[in-house]
A and B are shown apart, each in its own frame.
Chain A
Amino acid sequence: MAEKLTKVQRAAQVAGRRMADHNTPFIYNSWYIAAFSEEVNRDLIARTILGKQLVFYRKEDGSPVALDNRCGHRSFPLSKSSIEGDTIVCGYHGMRYDAEGTCVEIPSQPGCGCNGISIRSFPLQETGPVIWIWMGDPDLADPETIPELPMLEDGWTFSQGRMELDASYVYMQENLLDLTHLSYLHANTFGSPDYAEAKFESSITEDRMQLTRYVTPTTLPPIWAKPTGLDGSRAARITTSDFVSPALHITHAEFYDNDVPVDQRPDYRIKVAHLITPVTQHECLYFVLSGRNFAMEDREITQFMHHQLMAAFAEDKEGLSAIDELIRNHDGEDYYEISVASDEGAVAMRRYLKQLSDSEHNVA
C-alpha cells in the first residue's frame, strides 16, 4: 500500500514535474563540447552525443568534421572505415562520403547520382582547446551564441581533463549549483566542514543562475592552500557557482587572508569550466578546463592542482553514478525529492532546462 504523503512530499512531487530530470528529452538547440581538440585527428573516432552516434576526424587542412556514424546504405559504422583525403570510404561496400556527408561514390554503380543517401553532418566550432558541436536545427546554429570561456583569456593559465560519468547531465549541472555537498561528498578532498553552513547570495534570472558562497574565515584545503601559501585559519574562500548554458557551468573562486589589508592582498583567483555533454539519459561526458591567474609559469603547481581537482571530481563521478544506479533500480513507484533553501539555484536551473526541452519538443 502506498504511504500517505505529507504536504511537503506532495508539494515536492508536483514541483518535480516541472523540473528536468534524466527522463527529460535532450535540448538539441544549444552548443555542447564534442571533444578536446587534441582528441580529434586523422583517425576516425566514434562518439555518442545527445543519443546520436557520430564519427569524428580532421580534414587535410586540419578542420574537424562530425558525421552520422551510420553508413546510409547498410548501417556499417563509418568509424570502422577508412579516411582517404577528406573523404570516408565505408569499410563494408565502399560508399564514399565527403566531409559534408554527401555520398560521392558507389563503387558497384559507377556514375550513379547518389545524393539521396547522404548522411547528416554537424556544425563544429573549434575554440582553443575545445571543439563545440551543434546537434540541433542547423538553421539555428549561430557561432555567436557559443559561451565564452574566461580561463582561455590573457592573464590566465589552465589545465584540462576529461571523465565519463554514468549519470544524467542534469544531475551533474545540479551538483555544481549546490556546493554545500563539499562538506560531505568531498570531505576527504577539497571540502571543509564549514562549507555547508556558509552564507550565500543568489542571483537568478530566467536563463542564468548564480550562487555566491562566503566561506570565511576558514582553513583552505591543500589544493588551494599550497599554491597560494594561504595556509592559516583566517583565509577566505569566496565561490560563485555560475550556470551558463545546458553545456556549461563555471566555478569562480577567490582566496585571500583576512588579516591582510584589502589593498595589499595578492589576486588569487580560479575559474573552472565544467563542460557537460549528454551521451544517453544515464551517461554524460565531463570536460574540465581549470584556470588560474597566479603562478602562471609554475608547471609543478599546475600538475598539483590538476591532480587534486580531478581527485575531487572523481568523488562526484562516484556519487552521481551511485545515485543513477539507485534511480535505475528504483521500484517504479513515483518518487519525489525534497528541495531545501540551498537548492534554490538548482531548482531554477532544472525548471529552465525543462522549459527549453518542452519548447523544443513542442510539449504544451
Chain B
Amino acid sequence: MSVILHVEDLNGVTHQVNSPLDHTVMEVLRDNNLGVQAICGGSCACATCHVIVDPANFHLLTPAGDDEQDLLSILEKPAETSRLSCQLKVTEAMHNLKLTVAPEED
C-alpha cells in the first residue's frame, strides 16, 4: 500500500512521489533524492529532514512529540507548519499531502 505525496524540492519543482505506508516521509524523500540529508538516520537528533507542510493539510498529521519539538525550536527559520519528516509515518490520510523541503540552514 502506498499514497501519493506532492513534494516541492529545493529548486521549487514539485514531484508526485509514491510513498509506501510502512515508511517515514524522510525515508521517502531520501530514497527519491529530494534533498534531505537525514544525518541521524531518523532518530530525531539532527533536524536535517525539515519540511514545511501545506497549512491546508497540516491537521492530518499526528502532533510533534517532545523530541521533535525540541529540535524544531532550534531552527532559525521555522514555519508555522514545520515538521521533521523522520517523525512522520506515511498514513492513508496523507494521500495527496503537499509539502516543501526546507532550505538547509548553516
A residues near B, CB below 8 A?
6-8, 10-15, 17-18, 338-344, 347-348, 351
Q: Quick one: given A7-B48, A8-B47, A347-B45, are A339 and B40 in contact (CB under 8 Å)? A: yes
Give the chain A neighbours of B46 by CB distance below 8 A. Answer: 8, 11-12, 15, 338-339
Give the chain A neighbours of B73 by CB distance below 8 A. Answer: 14
B6 to chain A, nearest CB (A): 25
A73 to B45, alpha carbons, bound, how many Å? 50
* Set B43, B48, B74: member contacting A344, Cβ < 8 A: B43
Whether a CB of chain A sits under 8 angstroms from the CB of B75 is yes
A348 to B44, alpha carbons, bound, how many Å? 10
Chain B, interface size category, equals 20 to 34
Whether a CB of chain A sits under 8 angstroms from the CB of B76 is yes
Residue of A8, A17, A338 contacting most chain B CB atoms (<10 Å): A8
B77-90 vs A, Cβ < 8 Å mask (1 yes, 0 no): 00000000000000
Which applies to chain A's interface (DSSP): helix, strand, loop or mixed? helix
B87 to chain A, nearest CB (A): 12
B residues near A, CB below 8 A?
38-48, 66-67, 70-71, 73-76, 104-106
CB atoms of A340 and B105 under 8 A apart: no
CB atoms of A7 and B70 under 8 A apart: no
Give the chain A neighbours of B74 by CB distance below 8 A. Answer: 7, 10-11, 13-14
* Set B41, B45, B66, B75: member contacting A7, Cβ < 8 A: B75
| CB-CB nearest in chain A for B76 | A7
A161 to chain B, nearest CB (A): 32
A344 to B27, alpha carbons, bound, how many Å? 14
B86 to chain A, nearest CB (A): 10
Given contacts A8-B48, A12-B45, A340-B39, 8 further A-B contacts (CB under 8 A): A10-B47, A10-B74, A11-B47, A11-B71, A12-B46, A15-B71, A338-B46, A344-B40
A215 to B8, alpha carbons, bound, how many Å? 37
B41 to chain A, nearest CB (A): 3
CB atoms of B40 and A347 under 8 A apart: yes
| CB-CB nearest in chain A for B48 | A8
A342 to B42, alpha carbons, bound, how many Å? 10
| CB-CB nearest in chain B for A17 | B70
Q: Quick one: given A7-B47, A7-B75, A7-B105, are A342 and B70 in contact (CB under 8 Å)? A: no
* Set B42, B47, B67, B76: member contacting A351, Cβ < 8 A: B67
Give the chain A neighbours of B66 by CB distance below 8 A. Answer: 18
Give the chain B neighbours of A15 by CB distance below 8 A. Answer: 40, 43-46, 67, 70-71
| CB-CB nearest in chain B for A345 | B43
CB atoms of B105 and A18 under 8 A apart: no
A213 to chain B, nearest CB (A): 14
A13 to B46, alpha carbons, bound, how many Å? 9
A304 to chain B, nearest CB (A): 37
| CB-CB nearest in chain A for B69 | A14
